[in-house]
Amino acid sequence: MRKRLLSVLMIGAMASSLVACGQPNTANNGGSNAQGGGASADSSAVRLLNGKPEIDAQLQDLAKLYKEETGNELIVETIGGDTSASDELKKMYQAGNMPDIFVIEANQAASWDGKLADLKGETWTNNTEFELVDDSMGTIGFPYTVEATALGYNADVLKAAGVDPSTLTSPDAYAEAFKTLDSKKDELGIKAVLGWCAEPSNLGWSSGTHVFGQYLDAGLAADDTTYIDLLNDGGQVDHDRMLAFAEFVGMMNQYSDPDLLVDGTYDEQVAGFKAGEYAFITQGNWCVTSPDDVDFECGFAPYAFEDGIDTIIAGPPSYWVAYADGNVEGAKAFFNWCAGDSAQNILVNDAGLVSPFSDCQYEAVNPFYASMKSYIDAGKFSGWHTMLKKDGLQNQTCQVFADYAQGKLDAEGFTSTIEQVIKDYYAN
């Protein structure tokens, strides 16, 4: 089943686009909290299940403005705490209490086959190349945000160390840069070269999805599905590419903060980067959303585990979809309004997102925005094809990253183990 997670963009199509967010649901929200939901007495209202508690307040403001401008009611129900949107949706479906709009990742589409509305021909589809298209179900996904992930860096620290990030397109270049930064830690005032954590319980989503995704896509064009196609064909892995990736991850392990590497948390990782303790961080633009978060320039560098890799991963990691047995017309009306100026103003300027719509006039305030935009304008971005792997694989691969970080495996051992883990997961 083909899904267009990313299409090749015309140069400049993203000149005023890009959006942040994407961290796991670890915060408690202060708005409406849906633990099972609750249908509105007004049957014409549209219920949206939000899986990002960090933007609950902004979505509540969005709903108020939608009512003011259109007279239509949008009820935002936000999942908080450690409850995932996917788990909550299963409960709501079983209870016959489905929202009209909810969020899915591209590889979850198959589980909703026949239950999602086709949005083909809607006005908003004319202004983006990021809609999710499925061969059997049609246009099913509304892209509410664009996110990017690579090796985030502190440009001030790199400049002080004499490291030019534009040269980081090979393993040798990284080895030299990491060695230089490590030798100047005291002078630079950093704790470690890298803020990288392979703890599987709290950050398995990061290692098993985002970092693993670099093996699948780094260096490839946005529409190149070579390695995700291989993976989804019975769990096949390109051994040589995986070994090169493993050797690069080994270098990351070597230069990471040892206190963070094995037992750290997302909050500790991000706090350390924001405080200037790390030159690099293994996250995306969602980890620093406001200019007030940092007092230095942020940028992205590629995971150059092979010579010549010069891309970052960029695109929508997830989508809003309309439940076919719900208020489809209401959902369509909201999507068309949401792609317009009023909604994009809130989503970009208040929620810190990066718009996927080419006619959006607002530039994101995200500190990584300028770097993201430079890669996208140059066509130097790869797809989020990690979201098309077999659902749940990340829960298995993340343990291999953890074992490697703990010194239980070398690069060859990492490669052979992750190959076997993937093969077994696809076989079952």
Give the pLDDT confidence score for residue 302 in this predicted structure.
Answer: 98
Nearest-5° angle of CA 227, CA 233, CA 237?
45
Give the pLDDT confidence score for residue 192 in this predicted structure.
Answer: 98
Domains in the chain with CATH codes: 46-146+317-365 (3.40.190.10), 148-314+392-427 (3.40.190.10)
Nearest-5° angle of CA 126, CA 348, CA 297?
120
pTM of model > 0.85: no
pLDDT tens track, the chain, 428 positions: 333 333 322 222 333 333 333 333 333 333 333 333 333 345 689 999 998 887 899 999 999 999 999 999 999 999 864 556 777 888 999 999 999 999 998 878 888 999 999 999 999 999 998 999 998 999 999 999 999 999 999 999 999 999 999 999 999 999 999 999 999 999 999 999 999 999 999 899 999 999 999 999 999 999 899 999 999 999 999 999 999 999 999 999 999 999 999 999 999 999 999 999 999 999 999 899 889 999 999 999 999 999 999 999 998 878 999 999 999 999 999 999 999 999 999 999 888 888 999 999 998 888 999 999 899 889 999 999 998 999 899 999 999 999 999 999 999 999 999 999 999 999 99
Give the pLDDT confidence score for residue 35 in this predicted structure.
Answer: 35
Taking Cα atoms as reference points, which of 326, 337, 353 lies closest to residue 115?
326
* Residue 177: HSE in the Cβ half-sphere, 13 Å Cα cutoff: 26
Taking Cα atoms as reference points, which of 125, 126, 129, 105 lies closest to residue 7?
129
Give the pLDDT confidence score for residue 129 in this predicted structure.
Answer: 86
C-alpha distance from residue 37 to each of 24, 109, 255, 296, 309 (Å): 20, 22, 45, 41, 45
Give the pLDDT confidence score for residue 377 in this predicted structure.
Answer: 86
